[in-house]
Copies of this chain bind each other. A is one copy, B any other.
Amino acid sequence: MDTDRVPAHPDLRTITLQQVLEAVVEPVRRSILIQLRDSPADIKCGAFDLPVSKSTATHHFRILREAGLIRQYYAGTSRMNALRHAETDEAFPGLLDAIVAAERRATRS
């Protein structure tokens, strides 16, 4: 792994509820979280189904990373994304699960 290219990830203990809510209030960012939650494996940036340009998507990935919600790393030339689910759930118990569940109910109906 080329650690020079791996972006910084915050300690969840430094993340505020305000940051998390500002991250998840944006629908595209919630879509990224749902796709990660539904995927059996981590997903590279280019493989998400998103209704925005590549540069806009990159912005959304950064916001999610800075809010402590996703971890990004390189596999070869691909920037991969993983949910920081256990850490997030420890810092904000039940919050992400409640949002994902509500989003899924909305998508089904």
Contact = CB atoms under 8 A, between A and B. Distances in A.
Contacts of A94: 94, 97-98, 101
Interface stretch (A14-22, A44-52, A55-63, A72-80): A14-22
Interface residues of A, number: 21
Contacts of A30: 17
Contact of A92 (B17, B21, B25, B102): B102
A18 B106 CA distance: 10
Interface of A: 16-18, 20-22, 24-25, 27, 30, 92-95, 97-99, 101-103, 106
Per CB-CB distance, the 7 closest pairs between chain A and chain B, nearest first, are: A94-B98, A95-B98, A17-B102, A21-B25, A92-B102, A25-B25, A94-B94
